[in-house]
Structure 1
Amino acid sequence: MLIEDDDDHSDLVRMQLADEDPTIELTRCASLAQASAQTRDCVFDLVLLDLGLPESDGLETLAEMLGRLDGVPVFVLTSNMNRELGVEAVALGAADFVDKHSLANSGLARRIAFAIERTEIRRRLENQNLFLRTFVASVGHDLRAPPRQIIQLTDMVEDSAGEEKYKYLRYLNDIRSRAGHLSLLLNDTLDYAIHASKQPSRQTVFLSQAVGQVIEDLDTHEKGRVKLMSDVGLLADPNLLFLILRNVIGNGLKYCQDQPSIVRLDGKIVPSGTEVEVTDTGMGIPEAMIEQVFAPTVRAVDRSRFSGTGFGLAIVKLLVEAHGG
């Protein structure tokens, strides 16, 4: 669909597409109102949008159209050689931008075909991710239940064994410990599978709010060991930000030598966005392991001294990257 109020410009686009690919079917609308009516009755593969329509002008036009479409790629048409406007449009969600005065050299039909193909691939991936999340959620309960039941049965055996239980107490504790580790491993594996395909929502969250939620979940003796040095606003998914900070702060408190560790968080605005620096006084990560610790199941500490599965930082990495970090 072409949304263009100027007849001459509309003819230019139509002729260019006909020259490049005669199989393209083009529906022209002269206003957003007409386009809105068309989208109610028809499904379009792509929208070519002029930013200078009667009802709205500039990026407001794009924002309004994106709000009415469900994942349909939008190409912005500019007529003033304003590349910066086109770049801004792409940043706001447009698939591409084209100067109407340079259509002959734009390869418009080819770019349209690529955009439609990318959109279709993205939709297939989203459907696959939805299936995986649904599957993991549906089997998650069944997978989590057996270790809990083993622990409960072990407790029942210990309670009913009377004086004889002391003969088997070491074995019962070993069963309980191994079942607990299995439960932790299953929980972290399922959480990793769920978050691997999760797309974050975006809203303004202050670092102090998110850190405060994590502190509320800590044991009493740990609450005073988390220090927020400076606050900052972040554009993030509040629930996923909580998971990120809970893992990072938890690691900082957990991995320490003789003295309790202090965790400090410092938020600041940088040219590329928002940066949160987390430091602690714990045992640290060996330099040779810094790149490896973000891989699933990798641990940089003595497993006999510290419990865990090695999924925490892997989940953190996934969630930070999902936010563009």
Structure 2
Amino acid sequence: MKVLLIEDNPDHLELIIECCYGAFTDSCQVETFDTLSAGLAALGSSIFDIALIDLSLPDSNIEATTQTLKQLQTTVPIIVLTSLQDGEVGRQLIKDGAQDFLPKGSLHDTLLQRMALYAIERKHHQVQLENRTLDQQTFCRSLSHDFKAPIRNVGQLTSLLKDRLTDRQVLDSEDHNLFEKIENRLHTMNRLVEGLYDYILTDHISAGNELVDLNQIIIELKPILFNDAKTQVSIHCDNLPIIHGNRAQIFMLVQNILENAIKYCEQEPVITITYEVIHVKTKLNEYLLHQIKICDNGIGIETRFINEIFEPFRRLHSESEYRGTGLGLSTVKRIMKNHNGKVLIESEKNKGTCITLQFP
């Protein structure tokens, strides 16, 4: 067992080394460093089975070390060494990528051995999962490209055939209608491929911890929505919060909801976006939520279909009535789940729909 130990306190250092030899037998090798920078440099250049890292070091205080470990990319499992009162910091670091934390006051051979073996096993599974996720993302991109290329080629060949037949003046109105139907079907297939790509990929990209300004998302979406809409669109919006998450996914989330509000409307679309902070109290704990409501004046949904509309490919209307893939709201639900949030829907036929988004 080769151990990387980053610890600057000589007394603690001696105690931890003794525990390592007791836990991993005399064949154990321990390389020690008293600064974070030197230890991480060794971690990047040598092979270790496990790393034991103190949080408070001469070149890095607890907060700085915590931030560094959050962003650290390594296949080596990390056990964070904490004081007894730093348990909450340790638990947070486990959420951010560390395999475990160990209060120095509780350190002994058996505990260190058990925690190290569990940490190595967990890290092994984590690396496998990350590699599988990367493979699936690559597969999704390849699949999207492989499907879109022949669709694009069919479109080009159809357009070329139409132009040649038009030059010969052999097309009548029925022929033009047939070519228009082909173009519409190709657009539908293209949207379906894009929808599938977005839908599959949302499960394999973590929510992330970017600061996402929802006001800016709305500003960027307006020209896209207004240019695509066939009628005048009115959006009335409260001042929205800045939340933590994956910006690309949040953009897709809001875009899907607003596009539905515009598409499923038989009059000039009016969309109202409201925001409030709500306080939730349960028997176990209490917490605050960002709650955003997006309400429209569209055709609404019958109550009996409310529970079905988040299912993939579930459509309540034919393609000839309203274009779509049946994946928009399924993707919305996946993105909210990915952000530890919740999506709720209230609707009444011919009276509009309200979609509620609740973010931590």
Please indicate, yes or no, whether the TM-score normalized by the shorter chain is above 0.5: yes
Contact 2:52–2:80 at 8 Å: present in 1 too? Answer: yes
- Distance in 2 (CA, whole Å) between partners of 1:73 and 1:127 is 16
From the two aligned structures, give the one with the greater helix fraction: 1
* AA aligned opposite 1:240: Q
How far does the alpha carbon of each residue in 1:151-192 deviate from its partner, in whole angstroms, 9 at most, with x for none? 444444444253542354444344333333222222322333
Distance change >3 Å, CA 6–CA 323, structure 1 → 2: same
In the other structure, the counterpart of 2:243 is 234
Match of residue 299, structure 1, among 301, 307, 315:
315
What secondary structure sits across from 1:110 in the alignment?
A: helix
What is the root-mean-square deviation in Å for CA atoms of aligned residues?
3.2
1:207 equivalenced with 2:211 (yes/no): no
Amino acid at match of 1:192: Y
CA contact (8 A) 1:216 1:223 kept: no
Paired residues of 2:314 and 2:327 also in contact (CA < 8 A): yes
Q: 1:282 aligns with which of 284, 294, 298?
A: 298
Aligned to 1:121: 125
Q: Distance in 2 between matches of 1:284 and 1:106?
A: 62
Q: Which runs of 5+ in 2 are unaligned?
A: 279-286, 342-360
Query: Aligned equivalents of 2:129 and 2:180: distance in 1?
Result: 45
Question: CA contact under 8 A between 2:233 and 2:262: conserved in structure 1?
Answer: no
State the shift of 1:209 in Å: 0.7
Q: What letter is aligned with 1:14?
A: I
Structure 1 residue 54 displacement after superposition: 2.9
Q: Deviations over 1:212-260 (max 9, x none)?
A: 111110235656422212321122333332211111111122123x434
**Matching residue within 62, 67, 71 for 1:63:** 67
Q: Which residue of 1 aligns with 2:11?
A: 8
Inter-partner Cα distance in structure 2 for 1:259 and 1:288: 24
| In 1, Cα distance between equivalents of 2:107 and 2:304 | 53
Distance 1:247 1:64 in 2: 36
Q: Measure, in 1, the Cα distance between the counterparts of 2:72 and 2:173.
A: 70
Counterpart for residue 95 of structure 1 = 99
1:226–1:262 Cα contact (<8 Å) kept: yes
Cα displacement (A) at 1:7: 3.3
Aligned with 1:283: secondary structure?
Answer: coil
Structure 2 vs 1, CA of residues 263 and 153 (structure 1 numbering), >3 Å: closer, same or farther? same
Instruction: Note the alpha carbon deviations across 1:65-89, whole angstroms, 9 max, x for none.
Output: 5555535443222233443343344
8 A contact 2:22–2:109 mirrored in 1: no
Once the two structures are TM-superposed, the CA of residue 139 in structure 1 deviates from its matched residue by 4.7
Alignment of 1:1-325 (within 5 A): 1-22=4-25, 25-67=29-71, 69-70=73-74, 72-91=76-95, 93-104=97-108, 107-159=111-163, 160-161=165-166, 162=169, 164-219=171-226, 224-256=233-265, 258-269=266-277, 271=287, 274-325=290-341
TM-score (norm 2): 0.76
Alpha carbons of structure 1 residues 92 and 194: separation in structure 2 relative to 1, 3 Å: closer
**Corresponding residue SS for 2:30:** coil
**DSSP 3-state at the match of 1:26:** strand
Which residue identity is paired with 1:218? L
Question: C-alpha deviations, 1:244-279, integer Å up to 9, x for none?
Answer: 1111111122123x4344222234445455443322
Distance 1:106 1:88 in 2: 24
Matched to 1:228, the amino acid is C
| 1:54-109 per-position Cα deviation (integer Å, ceiling 9, x unaligned) | 33332323334555553544322223344334334445553322222222498332
**Residues paired across the two proteins, number:** 324
Q: What is the TM-score when the length of structure 1 is the normalising length?
A: 0.83
CA distance in 2, matches of 1:54, 1:70: 23
Which consecutive residues of structure 1, in runs of 5 or more, have no partner in the other structure? none
